[in-house]
Structure 1
Amino acid sequence: TKVLATRGHGGKTLFGRYLEAKNGKDIPVQLGQNVDFEKDGVTIVAKEDGQVLLVNGKITVEPILNLDAVNIKSGNVNFLGTVIIRGNVEDGFSVKASGDIDIGGTVGKSVIEADGNIIIHQGVFGKNEGHIKCGKSLWVKFVQEMKIDVEENLVATDSLMNCDVSAMKNIVVYGKKAQITGGNLFATEEICARTVGSAGGGTTTTLTVGVDPRAKKKLDELLESQGVLVKELENLDLDIATLENQKKIRRSLPKDKEANLQKLVTRKHEIIGESKSMSKEIESLQEHLRELKAAGRVKVEGITYPGTKIYVRDVLDEIHTEVKNCTFYYEASFAKRAKYEPPVLDVSKGPEGYN
């Protein structure tokens, strides 16, 4: 907001002599890109999200925030627009943007969230504490020990090691190494790599395709919670039966035991209601997963090592011996194998808006 010039107010010297004051002078405000005056002529508003800057004396809003690095000097970043970081994002810091995030260096055990694409030109070392959440696609060189959620595709040019990944479309690892080792990876459509698992074994690699990863996760959580409720209900029934038998024999119970009996009965009704509600949600999720059109495929150009578990639409194909140049898919309620097919996703185009 521009503060208008005001009239000067006269004063006095230490000796009481009157001093005339100068009136304030109006200073014109120059506007740059993406800003405009309101009707009052003094309020300046941004026409789009971004960073407020003074460029050549003009008030400007830049939709892109440029940083050398994210560390103790910059602090955490939360920006309405696109963020470009030339260097690294150090451990313990977060970068959140409503646009894209482009990181020229590496990422540590950090939180990276964008409504658009995330492009990381080097690697990610999550140390099982970091998290990446992407509204579109993630493009990265390699990732180690990181939790990743993407709304579209995850594309890596080197490797994914011990990662927990959920992708609503595809996971594609390509390049000379193109290896997936360890971790749990979910993709609705395809998971593609050159090598899956490890030659020495010891690390379990689990790939799941043909399911909605969020719905599958929610279903698993509900089934686990319902199992806990069933056990609690069994214990309640035993306690209630014991107290009711005592009541039949004695014709009445002490006040504390009677109060406890009523409390147990109330809790039993609560559990039954909660379990019924969970059952409805479980049925709905199971129906959604059955109707899912994406059949899902795992495509491995090179070797799939023993110890790898591949779930295609919840049907397990466990690898016991080395499998080469193979496509794992689902047909007629069975997990099947065929010759290797190239990925459907064309990774040569690169991220949206990039060469």
Structure 2
Amino acid sequence: MKFNVIYSNPYIQLVEKDDGFYIESFKKGYTLEELNQTLIDFPQVKITNFLSLKRAVMNAPQFLIKFGEVRERVEVEISSDHLKGYVTLYVPEAELIGARRKQTIMEITEALQKKGIVYGIKQDVLLMDLKPKVKILIAEGKLPVDGKNSIIKMYEITEPKPEITEDGTVNHYELNLINKVSKGDWLGERIDATPGEPGKSILGETIPAKPGKQFPLYYDKHSVEEVYDEEKGITTLIAKKTGAVFYRQEVIYVYDCLEIEGSVSFDTGNINFDGFVNIKGSIEDNFSVEAKNDIQVMGVMGVGSVEKIKSRDGCIYIRGGIAGKNKAHLYCKQDLYTKFASECTIECEETVHIGFYAINCNIKAKQVIFESRSSRIIGGNIDAEIKVVANEVGNRSEIPTNINIQGFNRKELKERLDEINKSIQEINDQLIEFKHKIAIYAGSENLSEQQQFEYKKISNQFQEVKETLKHLQSERKKHISYLRTKGEGEISISGQVHGNTTLTLKKITKRITNDIKGPVTYYVMDNELICE
């Protein structure tokens, strides 16, 4: 049997046999601290029984007692995910310098090969200063890079917002109500999801990457088509016809848009169209235009004594203004925008926006807002539910001018807003559930016919819920705006109120007999008319 004394002094000796390491003590006087210091010089010793060492030192003399085993000179450890490999050297420090270092490095290389480590070996580490009993990162695999989700950009419909320019000579009231596109115009695009880049373990195993998600494009196939560029990996949506862009349940459409190059006249006849109407000129006297969606009249001269302009579901924009000659009648489901209004009747279920002035008009709407800082209401009757905002009311000639605010119940409006907020929260929770279900189906490659049916059904429900959310958010925005109104109905005048003006708020009437300098605001609170 192999018997080799690797260390000896007057107190102890350390012996290596075939089955491990032994200690023999001769006399007391040697401490455990000194023994630990001695063992540092023998990294090949793996202590398996510390109590044996302690007994040999503390109870000397003691015959040969086994306390350790031979440790591998090069110990290799692989992480559980096979992405990192570590090496710890249990060799004397003398073997890590000079000519003997080369042999130790060969041992490291062989140990790595034996463990199957073939990728990501850090050769630079082998050139560094190596230390015994120090765990070193010797190999590192490559993590997979997940693919990127597809990127979608869509045509944006901007909210109508008038731009007013007053330079002393020309007053402009610019707005683009209809989002018109021509056949072949860009409507959106999707950059393909990427498959990702696979990784590799230190054992040479391929680690698959998670591909990015390819999100669907929602579009009306009758009015929109997709064109795919395989080289660039981009799907582009283009208009199949000239028309107006419109979204419904996140689906983009190009609705029919009737475009009149000149004016509505004997050449065109009266217009009644189930879509959008864009008139580049004007509408001649006694003619009428009716449409399902938005109507815009872009001529700088505006319109005169037209028979009727009516949008059943949309907005109306008269760029040049209305000179109605006590005949013109305009109606719209949503908002109306015009530069000025004179001697006409306007009925609007939402807000009437007027740039500069209204003279002898009959206007009925939820709100009537005059945009310009020099705006005026002269004569006529303004009937609003929530609010009227203008700069000047009446004139020096004291033409009778009437403004009536029907008013609203603030408590009921606030309760409705609370209901809307609650519904929005509930819908957001539903959307999270829908997204989770859709993600499960979208992540499955082979769906049965029944699963495909369920996937389509859930996707349609998801779009319907999103559309409901969109309407609720729009309604919330309006209610928040209404609740900013003072009291339960407001008339706000920033400049001046002239005599012979009658202001009525929730059936409480105030007749102005003498001019009043503004800014002044009238509103009703607890059935009392307040002036600030």
| Offset, 1:176 | 4.3
Which residue is equivalent to 2:403?
207
Q: Structure 1 CA distance, aligned partners of 2:378 and 2:528?
A: 25
Which residue is equivalent to 2:320?
122
CA RMSD of aligned residues (A): 2.5
Q: Structure 2 CA distance, aligned partners of 1:294 and 1:136?
A: 25
Alignment of 1:216-235 (within 5 A): none
Which residue is equivalent to 2:264?
70
Residues 236-264 of structure 1 show CA distances to partners (whole Å, capped at 9, x for unaligned) of xxxxxxxxxxxxxxxxxxxxxxxxxxxxx
Q: Structure 1 CA distance, aligned partners of 2:520 and 2:348?
A: 26
Alignment of 1:193-204 (within 5 A): 193-201=390-398, 203-204=399-400
1:332 is aligned to 2:509: no
Alignment of 1:268-283 (within 5 A): none
Which residue is equivalent to 1:93?
287
Alignment of 1:44-55 (within 5 A): none
Q: 1:294 to 1:77 in 2, by over 3 A?
A: farther
Which residue is equivalent to 2:512?
319
Which residue is equivalent to 1:171?
368
Task: Indicate if the aligned counterparts of 1:189 and 1:294 stay in contact, CA closer than 8 A.
Answer: no
Task: Indicate if the aligned counterparts of 1:197 and 1:307 stay in contact, CA closer than 8 A.
Answer: yes
Q: Percent identity?
A: 31
Q: Which amino acid in 1 is paired with 2:332?
A: C
Q: 1:308 to 1:140 in 2, by over 3 A?
A: same
Q: Which amino acid in 1 is paired with 2:325?
A: K
Residues 56-104 of structure 1 show CA distances to partners (whole Å, capped at 9, x for unaligned) of xxxxx85111112111111100000110011111100000000000111
Q: Which amino acid in 1 is paired with 2:501?
A: T
Q: Structure 2 CA distance, aligned partners of 1:154 and 1:79?
A: 23
Q: Structure 2 CA distance, aligned partners of 1:317 and 1:62?
A: 48
| Offset, 1:322 | 1.4
Q: Structure 2 CA distance, aligned partners of 1:79 and 1:91?
A: 19
* 34, 38, 45: which one aligns with 2:223: 34
Q: Which amino acid in 1 is paired with 2:327?
A: E
Which residue is equivalent to 2:309?
112
| Offset, 1:174 | 2.1
Alignment of 1:149-160 (within 5 A): 149-160=347-358
* 342, 346, 349: which one aligns with 1:144: 342
Q: Structure 2 CA distance, aligned partners of 1:176 and 1:86?
A: 28
Q: Structure 2 CA distance, aligned partners of 1:159 and 1:199?
A: 15
Q: Which amino acid in 2 is paired with 1:312?
A: L
1:301 is aligned to 2:494: yes
Task: Indicate if the aligned counterparts of 2:255 and 2:276 stay in contact, CA closer than 8 A.
Answer: no
* 99, 102, 115: which one aligns with 2:296: 102
Q: Structure 2 CA distance, aligned partners of 1:204 and 1:113?
A: 28
Q: Which amino acid in 2 is paired with 1:191?
A: V
Residues 263-319 of structure 1 show CA distances to partners (whole Å, capped at 9, x for unaligned) of xxxxxxxxxxxxxxxxxxxxxxxxxxxxxx971100000001011000010100111
Task: Indicate if the aligned counterparts of 1:33 and 1:62 stay in contact, CA closer than 8 A.
Answer: no
Q: Which amino acid in 2 is paired with 1:189?
A: I
**What TM-score does the superposition give when structure 2 sets the normalisation length?**
0.37
Residues 131-178 of structure 1 show CA distances to partners (whole Å, capped at 9, x for unaligned) of 0001100000001000110010000111011001110x2101121431
Q: Which amino acid in 2 is paired with 1:107?
A: V
Q: Structure 2 CA distance, aligned partners of 1:309 and 1:62?
A: 45
| Offset, 1:210 | 3.1
| Offset, 1:33 | 4.5
Q: Structure 2 CA distance, aligned partners of 1:182 and 1:137?
A: 22
* 310, 318, 330: which one aligns with 1:132: 330
Q: Structure 1 CA distance, aligned partners of 2:528 and 2:397?
A: 29
Q: How many residues align?
A: 205
Where structure 2 has 5 or more consecutive residues not aligned to the other structure, the ranges are 1-220, 225-240, 245-253, 409-485
Where structure 1 has 5 or more consecutive residues not aligned to the other structure, the ranges are 1-31, 36-47, 52-60, 213-292, 339-355
* Structure 1 outlier segments of 4+, above 2 Å: 32-35, 331-334
Task: Indicate if the aligned counterparts of 2:324 and 2:344 stay in contact, CA closer than 8 A.
Answer: yes
Q: Which amino acid in 2 is paired with 1:129?
A: K
Q: Which amino acid in 2 is paired with 1:139?
A: Y
Residues 96-117 of structure 1 show CA distances to partners (whole Å, capped at 9, x for unaligned) of 0000001112111111000201
Give secondary structure in 2 for the equivalent of 1:63.
Answer: strand
Q: Structure 2 CA distance, aligned partners of 1:315 and 1:88?
A: 41
Q: Structure 1 CA distance, aligned partners of 2:345 and 2:503?
A: 19
Q: Which amino acid in 2 is paired with 1:72?
A: F
Q: 1:166 to 1:294 in 2, by over 3 A?
A: farther
Q: Which amino acid in 2 is paired with 1:184?
A: N
